[in-house]
Amino acid sequence: MKPTVHDIAKIAGVSLATVDRVLNGRPGVREITRGRVEEAISTLGYVRDLAAANLAKGRTYAFTFILPANDNSFMIGLAEEVRGAIARSSAERTDIRIIEVPPFDPAALVCALDAVVESRPAGAAFVAIDTPEVRAAAKRLQAAGIPVVTLVSDLPDSGRDHYAGIDNIAAGRTAAGLMGRFLSGRKAKVAVLAGSMLVRDHRERLEGFSAVVGGSFPDLDILPVLEGRDDPTLAETALAEAFANHPDIAGIYSLGAGNRGLIRAVQTRRERPVVIAHELTASTRAALMDGTIDAVLNQDAGHEVRSAIRVLKAKADGLPVIAAQERIRIDIFLKDNLP
């Protein structure tokens, strides 16, 4: 049975109020009395509930979220979820600040991360770009004692404390399985549209997709990756050029955003290819309904933001992270099971 504050008070011969003052570093306790309480704590092996202690002290957790500012429906939704957390800040004892940076811009992200080191919040969360400079900046946060969570796209070997996002290799493998089944064993060309291969989530999705296609659907020919930088106009142009060079494209896997451009490009085709995309947004929902897109793999942005905040609080309090609670699942939506 775990020792309690009542046990400490009994052994030290003091009141519960005195134990509380010692545990929370409050004044008003004589040194000899403080010594007796601390000796009782040591003898019993009492472990403080830091979360409760911080609640008792009215602690507010200052967190910084660094997010890409672009025309990406999912990232816009992610930012809205962070703003929702800001609206709940008084109840959740948080003080959350958002820093916006241009998408796929490692230099801008490094500057933002270094600014976080200067402001010294209780924790930081950011959408990672996988470059040596960004990894080094993340390590500088760790060296400064600031817990770090990566969102959506991971950054291993950076010293980050936690990743809040889906298993992107599994997502790519899932997309390949769906593509192979939709194309029913046909010999066909498949286009892949990415935002940027600088981000690890897109690379991992491609890795999973290619592995399953190569192993289970060898008749599918994956064309060189198109990069649309999550911009609908660039995505539409890239796909139009791909169709001009390969009129027989039978499938498209969209690794990231820019799906409004993809939808426009596909809707011009007389014979529409099988399309699998990521993230359930207003545009992908409508495209599922009208048959332009066949399947959407989705991740819950709200869960990711809540997970990041829980993890950063736990790290600030020196508490363990509950892995099962923080696991982000992959949802598969077809026209028939839209929520």
* Residues carrying CATH 3.40.50.2300, the chain: 60-165+301-328, 168-298
Residue showing tokens 């935002």: 195
Burial of 141 (0-12, 13-18, 19+ CB in 10 A): buried
Q: What is the pLDDT of residues 23-46, one digit of tens each?
A: 766 677 888 998 898 888 888 877
Q: pTM (2 decimals)?
A: 0.82
On whether the CB atoms of residues 197 and 203 are closer than 8 A, the answer is: yes
The DSSP call for residue 71 is: S
* Residues carrying CATH 1.10.260.40, the chain: 5-48
CA 126, 132, 137, 139 torsion-angle sign: positive
Q: What is the pLDDT of residues 223-259, one digit of tens each?
A: 999 999 999 999 999 999 999 999 999 999 999 988 9
d(CA 66, CA 71): 16
Q: What is the mean pLDDT of residues 333-339?
A: 96
The architecture (CATH level 2) of 168-298 comes to 3-Layer(aba) Sandwich (3.40)
Four-way CATH pick for 5-48: 1.10.260.40, 3.30.360.10, 2.70.50.60, 3.40.640.10: 1.10.260.40
Instruction: Kindly give, in sequence order, each residue whose CB lies less than 8 Å from that of residue 303, ignoring residues fewer than 6 positions away.
Output: 328
14: left (phi over 0), alpha (psi -120 to 50) or beta: beta
pLDDT of 332: 98
pLDDT of 52: 57
d(CA 194, CA 278): 11
pLDDT grade, residue 339 (50/70/90)? Answer: very high
pLDDT of 20: 79
d(CA 292, CA 273): 8
Q: Does the 60-165+301-328 domain belong in CATH 3.30.9.10? A: no
Of residues 309, 289, 295, 193, the one with CA closest to residue 241: 193
